[in-house]
Chains A and B, each alone.
Chain A
Amino acid sequence: MRRRYLAVCLLLLSCASAQTVSVQILTDASLPADFGVNYPLGQTRNDAYVYGANFIIGVSYDLPSSSSLTLSLSGSQANYFLAWTVAGSGIDQAMGTALGTAVSGVSGSQSNVYYRQDGTLHLLAGEATRYRIGARATPAATADLNTVITLTLTSN
């Protein structure tokens, strides 16, 4: 009797610890690769956002129970506004705004699938949404922009 309880307990514990999600910023190429650490914007402006290169988002997960995945970007620097946009949309989105619809009902294990803003995951990179990060300087800006932008994937 004691052994059976112990087995059930260990099984549940191991399932819980197996829940993992990871996310990667990838180049917008026919064979997407890790974007690396540098995201140059060049000369910034006071009157408009200046955006960098396109990137797509790769997701991997191992989820024992049905979960929901959400994505967001964060980062800031004094005297600069930071934003993201979907390439071609012309809409500046504030950091912290969800990158699109949450992916719902995700379970099991999957590696390197690509996120699309309508809340779907795709095996083909061509189906992914193209994102860009941008910045706009305020008149008070005297220092160059140099700040870490974090992409966070959350499952719950």
Chain B
Amino acid sequence: MNNRTPLFAVPFRTALLALTSLSLASGALANTGTDTVTATGTVPAPTVSVVLMTDAATPADFGTGYALNQLNNSTFAYGSNFLIKLTYANVTTNVSLALSGSQANYLLAYRHTPSGGTLTSDVPFSTSVGTATASGTATDTYASGATTTAFNAFGTSTGATRFAIGAKSTTAAVTSLSTTITLTATAN
């Protein structure tokens, strides 16, 4: 009765061999070591730059002089056409354009001809030149539009919108026009 072997008893030698093979197996398992650093950085800052360019086969910087010559009280007199060249980086939403400038006793305006579009009537400076969806980075891209929209896209110089700035004097004007016109590009 007392010499009967229990059901789950395993000979000692067998148990030892099993343990040995287990330890060999664990010796082959992968082992890892780690070290960490915390990378930090600031979110990109949008940048945009804008240049007025001549309306030529090879556009060049327009420079600083924009002549309107003889003005009159009845209609806007316009200068030569220019293109708007833009370079931007890290933009997430859009780029918008605006013209500003004034002189007492003169009204200032702009007009534009999108590629394949029509020449607009006089647009006051208070009216936004336009906004185009933009994302990421672009270099030397031109403001372009469609039909009556001055600016809602980017493209090559050949497809760019032609802009011109004009002025009309009021009867109170006694001095010549000489004022700085600013084209502002805003990212996001």
Q: Is the CB of A151 within 8 A of B35?
A: yes
**1/0 per residue B2-28: CB within 8 Å of A?**
000000000011001101100110111
Q: Is the CB of A42 within 8 A of B24?
A: no
Q: Is the CB of B37 within 8 A of A47?
A: no
Q: How many residues of B sit at the interface, in one of the four size bands?
A: 35 or more
Does B40 touch A at the CB level, under 8 Å?
A: yes
Does A128 touch B at the CB level, under 8 Å?
A: no
Residues of chain B within 8 A (CB-CB) of A9 are: 16, 19-20, 23
Complex: how many Å from CA A116 to CA B31? 20
Within 8 A of B (CB), among A69-101: 75, 82
Q: Is the CB of B27 within 8 A of A154?
A: no
Does B63 touch A at the CB level, under 8 Å?
A: no
Q: Is the CB of A141 within 8 A of B37?
A: no
Given known A9-B16, A139-B135, contact A47–B40 (CB-CB < 8 A) = no
Complex: how many Å from CA A50 to CA B41? 9
Complex: how many Å from CA A15 to CA B25? 12
Does B43 touch A at the CB level, under 8 Å?
A: yes
Within 8 A of B (CB), among A1-36: 1-2, 5-6, 8-9, 12-13, 15-17, 19-25, 35-36
Complex: how many Å from CA A74 to CA B102? 57
Complex: how many Å from CA A13 to CA B22? 9
Q: Which of B23, B26, B31, B37 contacts A156 (CB under 8 A)? A: B31
Q: Is the CB of A23 within 8 A of B35?
A: yes
Does A126 touch B at the CB level, under 8 Å?
A: no
Residues of chain B within 8 A (CB-CB) of A50 are: 41
Q: Is the CB of B42 within 8 A of A139?
A: no
Residues of chain B within 8 A (CB-CB) of A133 are: 37, 39
Given known A12-B23, A155-B30, contact A37–B36 (CB-CB < 8 A) = yes
Mind listing 8 A-B residue pairs with CB under 8 Å? A13-B23, A39-B39, A41-B40, A46-B137, A133-B37, A142-B43, A144-B40, A151-B36
Chain B interface (Cβ within 8 Å of chain A)? 12-13, 16-17, 19-20, 23-24, 26-45, 89-92, 135-137
Chain A interface (Cβ within 8 Å of chain B)? 1-2, 5-6, 8-9, 12-13, 15-17, 19-25, 35-47, 50, 52, 55, 60, 64-65, 75, 82, 133, 135, 137, 139-156
Supplied contacts A13-B19, A40-B40, A44-B41, 10 more A-B pairs, CB within 8 Å: A19-B27, A20-B31, A39-B39, A43-B44, A47-B89, A137-B44, A139-B136, A149-B36, A153-B34, A154-B32
